[in-house]
Chains A and B, each alone.
Chain A
Amino acid sequence: MNIEQYITDIQQRFPEIISTEVINTKRLMVYIPKSILPKITDHWFNKLQYRYIVVSAMDSKDGYELIYHYSDDETGWVMSLNVMLAHDNPEVESMTPIVYGIEWIEREIMDILGIKFLNHPKPERFLLAESWPDGDYPYRRKIRKGDR
């Protein structure tokens, strides 16, 4: 299956997908709403046996961006799921019950960006010390949309 066919396939399977973008050679980004994240993660990780790599998180103008990276080792493609979370209520379902290895990175993102992962088995601090003040997230930006 080439990438065009693959994109059509995944869009048919998950009609909720917002958009897809081939960002570079062998790099696909799939923009999704957070509601279908568990479904699509399960499809990629368990059915297609993609290898979980890591989650990149950043504070963008439009919200907190979570990018779940998976690797399709047969073709060498890096497949990424991009979920945008609102600035005022950043919470998303934890993927740890599906992908065990995701546990630590979700805790890290919790520390640095203050994103809440629902149903996380161990929602404790990972990088930051216990004495770090609550509500202070080092990777959050001060500049927001509409600011000059």
Chain B
Amino acid sequence: MGKITIVPIGPYHPLLEEPEFFKLYCDGEIVVDMEWETGYNHRGIEKICESKTFEQVFYVVERICGICSTSHPFAYANAVESIGGVQIPVRAKLIRSIIGELERIHSHLLWVGLAGHFLGYNTLFMWAWKYREPVLDMFEIITGNRNSYAMFTIGGVRRDIDETKAAQLLKVLDDVKTKTDLLVGAVMDDPVIHARLKGVGTLTAEDIHDFGAVGPTARASGVDIDVRRDDPYAAYDMVKWKVITAKEGDIFAKAEVRLLELYESISIIQQCLQLIKKEGAGDIKTKVKEIPPGIGIGRAEAPRGEVFHFVKSDGSNSPVRHKILAPSYNCITTFRRSCIGGTISDAAIATAAVDPCYCCTERMVQVYDYKSGKRIMNAADLIKLSQQKTDELRTKILAKGQ
């Protein structure tokens, strides 16, 4: 073995609930070991929740993640409502599912864009983020906010979707569907993307089971799990949809799963809107007086995988203990399997494949020489390395084609 170099990625990682730090040990170009650390900016949200009322906790957990800002209230609502045995109105169930799926659409579009950027496809990045804008605008129309929607409350939702908004939403969905076709075409038919992503960062079904990974990361490895189907909540058992899986477990499979999930989400929202129309006007909230003592476990399928909330109540107006599991925790640990043995130029996309956000880590990533401590390269260089590899592949493939 030659000289081992440590490549630190992080520690600031803005999208997950805590910034984290990856240490890649490299022998030449090959990653031989990996460590991850977190807790650099721990906000103690679980502890904060213990000092808030059940109602206030919604607005705290909503701020765990800027992208999954509905998934956490969703799982929390499921947990608290299960303690109290609260039955929510059908209309509220449908609206909850609509918001959940809209979030999945904008989150997956964001990921496609970022993955494109890492590979040196900046046009794809611009496209995907442009197509994501109308979805965020739609959020503003429905909830008043482009982010942190504050839609959930115990016993239902806080705002209704009327017919005008429903019509607007349907129009946006049609538009997103056409644009998704474009994106799917751009990714699935590109030989360079195939060469770059196939067989890279592969995770087997056993790896997924060992780490408890969830969401598209698991489904891309042929693990057919989805809380929306396995343990239905809100309106997911009232509409027809299918769980998208792929067998390969590489990054291409993860991209494929996410892209195809966009269609399912669009279809779920369309069906929910139809059902809302059929149901007619009705309550969007049931009154809940108090939460009895007990334990509640709530789950929701976030864009990145299962969100898990454990709430213990002692009959007072705030939780005694609130344990939160965000999907990224169990997905990030899989880096030990997906990155080791690969090259550094693949590490950037392999770590991005489980969908942690990388947009602001650039200035924080630096490569140091293990022995001398001298800085060799920074994050921008790392991304450049990844983009260069794509360029080389593109030149090769184009030359072959001619």
Is A17 in contact with chain B by the CB < 8 A criterion?
no
- Given A24-B82, A24-B83, A58:B210 Cβ within 8 A: no
Are A126 and B38 touching (Cβ within 8 A)?
A: yes
Are A126 and B47 touching (Cβ within 8 A)?
A: no
Residues of B near A51 (CB, < 8 A) are: 209, 212, 214, 225
Residues of A near B197 (CB, < 8 A) are: none
- Given A52-B212, A73-B230, A101-B333, A58:B325 Cβ within 8 A: no
Are A54 and B210 touching (Cβ within 8 A)?
A: no
Q: For window 351-377 of chain B, which residues contact chain A by CB distance below 8 Å?
A: none
- Given A27-B82, A129-B39, A138-B47, A100:B297 Cβ within 8 A: no
Is A127 in contact with chain B by the CB < 8 A criterion?
yes
Are B312 and A58 touching (Cβ within 8 A)?
A: yes
> In angstroms, how far is the closest chain B Cβ from the Cβ of A53?
5
Is B321 in contact with chain A by the CB < 8 A criterion?
yes
Residues of A near B83 (CB, < 8 A) are: 24
Residues of A near B214 (CB, < 8 A) are: 51
| A72 to B30 CA separation, bound complex (whole angstroms) | 37
Are A56 and B321 touching (Cβ within 8 A)?
A: yes
Q: For window 1-28 of chain A, which residues contact chain B by CB distance below 8 Å?
A: 23-27
Residue of B with least CB distance to A72 = B230
Are B325 and A54 touching (Cβ within 8 A)?
A: yes
| A79 to B129 CA separation, bound complex (whole angstroms) | 40
Which DSSP category, helix, strand, loop or mixed, fits chain A's interface? mixed
Which DSSP category, helix, strand, loop or mixed, fits chain B's interface? mixed
Residues of A near B325 (CB, < 8 A) are: 53-54
Total A-B contacts with CB atoms under 8 angstroms apart: 90
Q: For window 314-350 of chain B, which residues contact chain A by CB distance below 8 Å?
A: 320-321, 323, 325, 329-330, 333
Q: For window 196-243 of chain B, which residues contact chain A by CB distance below 8 Å?
A: 209-214, 225, 227, 230-232
Is A121 in contact with chain B by the CB < 8 A criterion?
no
Is B66 in contact with chain A by the CB < 8 A criterion?
no
- Given A25-B82, A78-B297, A100:B210 Cβ within 8 A: yes
- Select one of A49, A69, A74, A100 contacting B310, CB under 8 A: A69
| Chain B window 291-304, contacts with chain A (Cβ cutoff 8 Å), 1 for yes, 0 for no | 00011110100000
- Select one of B299, B310, B323, B329 contacting A104, CB under 8 A: B329
Residue of B with least CB distance to A108 = B39
Residues of B near A103 (CB, < 8 A) are: 333
| A128 to B38 CA separation, bound complex (whole angstroms) | 9
Are A24 and B230 touching (Cβ within 8 A)?
A: no
Known: A27-B82, A56-B310. 14 other contacts (CB 8 A): A23-B297, A53-B212, A53-B308, A54-B310, A58-B320, A69-B310, A71-B230, A73-B225, A101-B210, A101-B212, A101-B333, A103-B333, A127-B42, A138-B44
Interface size on A, residues (CB 8 A): 38
Are B47 and A54 touching (Cβ within 8 A)?
A: no
Is A40 in contact with chain B by the CB < 8 A criterion?
no
Q: For window 60-110 of chain A, which residues contact chain B by CB distance below 8 Å?
A: 67, 69, 71, 73-78, 80, 99-101, 103-105
Residue of B with least CB distance to A59 = B321
> In angstroms, how far is the closest chain A Cβ from the Cβ of B222?
13
| Chain B window 138-177, contacts with chain A (Cβ cutoff 8 Å), 1 for yes, 0 for no | 0000000000000000000000000000000000000000
Are B82 and A126 touching (Cβ within 8 A)?
A: no
Are B39 and A76 touching (Cβ within 8 A)?
A: no
Residue of A with least CB distance to B333 = A101
Listed from nearest, the 5 A-B pairs whose CB atoms lie closest are A76-B231, A127-B39, A56-B323, A52-B212, A101-B211
> In angstroms, how far is the closest chain A Cβ from the Cβ of B293?
11
Are A69 and B38 touching (Cβ within 8 A)?
A: no
Are B299 and A23 touching (Cβ within 8 A)?
A: no
Residues of A near B299 (CB, < 8 A) are: 78
| A29 to B82 CA separation, bound complex (whole angstroms) | 15
| A55 to B376 CA separation, bound complex (whole angstroms) | 40
| A71 to B82 CA separation, bound complex (whole angstroms) | 17
Residues of B near A27 (CB, < 8 A) are: 82, 295, 297
| Chain A window 113-142, contacts with chain B (Cβ cutoff 8 Å), 1 for yes, 0 for no | 000000000000111110000000011000
| Chain B window 72-109, contacts with chain A (Cβ cutoff 8 Å), 1 for yes, 0 for no | 00000000001100000000000000000000000000
> In angstroms, how far is the closest chain B Cβ from the Cβ of A45?
8
A selection of 28 A-B contacts at a CB cut-off of 8 Å is A23-B295, A23-B297, A24-B295, A25-B82, A26-B231, A53-B212, A53-B308, A54-B323, A54-B330, A56-B310, A57-B323, A58-B320, A58-B321, A69-B308, A71-B230, A73-B225, A74-B230, A75-B230, A76-B230, A78-B231, A78-B299, A80-B297, A99-B210, A101-B210, A103-B333, A126-B37, A126-B39, A127-B18
